[in-house]
Structure 1
Amino acid sequence: MMVLTKEKATGDGVGLDHMEFKERLEQKEAEAAEYLDTLKRLQAEMENFRKRMIKEQEQIIQYAVQTVILELLPVIDNLERALDAAGADAEGGRLKEGVELIYTQLKGLLAKECVEVIDPAGEEFDPMKHEAVMQVASDEHAENTVVEVLQKGYDLKGRLLRPATVKVAK
């Protein structure tokens, strides 16, 4: 009959007792837990990095769109002036139709990009959206009301591109 001692044969005559084996196992489990924790942190960092890159890319695209739209606003202003100047002139009827078509296309493009017109005639003056260039006395309008819009303002997805230039009643 064979009696087991503290030592376990490993083939090279070296053996480990139960306590040493348990300590090594606990050490390896702790290392594995540490590696798993590191892996989870790295995965979370990678996911955060990916989200940050997507957000930055969206901001770059948004900035590019905003820049182009800001360049288009004076063109739209000039088209509106041309349409106002053309009035009901019979001679310029076809030209006016062409300008109206271009103007309509540009307005459609702005709407597609979520650009909203700020045309505050008759509204209360809002310094966050309007730029007052003149105050005028008015019996028809309450104090601090926009009497006339000199230049329309524009808003892109809740962000002010250009304030409306206005006259305000005093």
Structure 2
Amino acid sequence: MNKPEMQDKSMETENNGFNINADENVDGNQHLNEPVAEESETETLKEQIAQLNDKYLRQAAEFDNFRRRTAKERVELIQTASKDLIKDLLDVLDDSNRAQEQLEKTDDIAQIKEGVNLVFNKFRNTLTAKGLKPMDAVGTEFDPDLHDAVTEIDAGEDMKGKVVAEVQKGYYLQDKIIRHAKVVVGR
């Protein structure tokens, strides 16, 4: 038999309803060279895996860069955090230097006193402008969250449990305690 006759016979077999394919899930009339649907699904799944893997690697690299950048910014912030305060205190330092020069040149006590008081007031005003606030402790109830008791003294019944004197002043910075007041408490 020549080739055209064989093709005609195979066509007859397909048309007569004979199932020449031994696989139950695939119709015998289906051409065997056609791609199976499972292969195309596998390829799309492999592509999706590759895309997700690429996306994951990019996000991991982006997060790592973000972490490095924020760490660097934090270090820079810490290094320059006091820059504004120091800059404002330079004016007070200049005034202190001028006051020191005047101390050496003059004997007028009233003038020296006035100059030193001006420097002290400027210093206090600069710190207050930056959020520093002194703690008023004398005459208030002793509070261990605010005060450090240095000693107790007999102060009478009306001052019992209250702060009688301050040994060292306490301070707030933006309403947070930065130094507790060291106090003498009445008993």
Q: TM-score category by the smaller chain?
A: 0.5 to 0.7
Q: TM-score, normalised by structure 1?
A: 0.62
TM-superposed CA distance for 1:146, in Å, is 0.6
Among 125, 128, 136, the residue aligned to 2:145: 128
| Residue equivalent to 1:106 | 123
Alignment map for 1:70-85 (pairs within 5 Å): none
Q: Deviations over 1:44-95 (max 9, x none)?
A: 3443444454445444555xx4xx99xx9xxxxxxxxxxxxxxxxxx63222
| Residue equivalent to 1:21 | 40
The alignment partner of 2:165 has SS state of strand
1:117 and 2:119 correspond: no
**Against the structure 1 CA distance between its residues 112 and 156, is the aligned structure 2 distance closer, same or farther, given a 3 Å change threshold?**
same
Where structure 2 has 5 or more consecutive residues not aligned to the other structure, the ranges are 1-29, 90-107
Bigger relative contact order (CA 8 A; separation at least 6): 1
Among 52, 56, 65, the residue aligned to 1:37: 56
**Identity level (%):** 23
Larger Rg: 2
C-alpha separation in 1, matches of 2:38 and 2:166: 87
C-alpha separation in 1, matches of 2:57 and 2:166: 60
Q: Deviations over 1:3-47 (max 9, x none)?
A: x95547xxxxxxx55432331121111120122133224333443
C-alpha separation in 2, matches of 1:59 and 1:98: 35
Where structure 1 has 5 or more consecutive residues not aligned to the other structure, the ranges are 9-15, 73-90
| Residue equivalent to 2:19 | none
Q: Does structure 2 conserve the Cα–Cα contact (< 8 Å) formed by 1:119 and 1:149? A: no
TM-superposed CA distance for 1:102, in Å, is 0.8
Q: TM-score, normalised by structure 2?
A: 0.57
Could you say what the CA RMSD is over the residues aligned between the two structures, in angstroms? 3.3
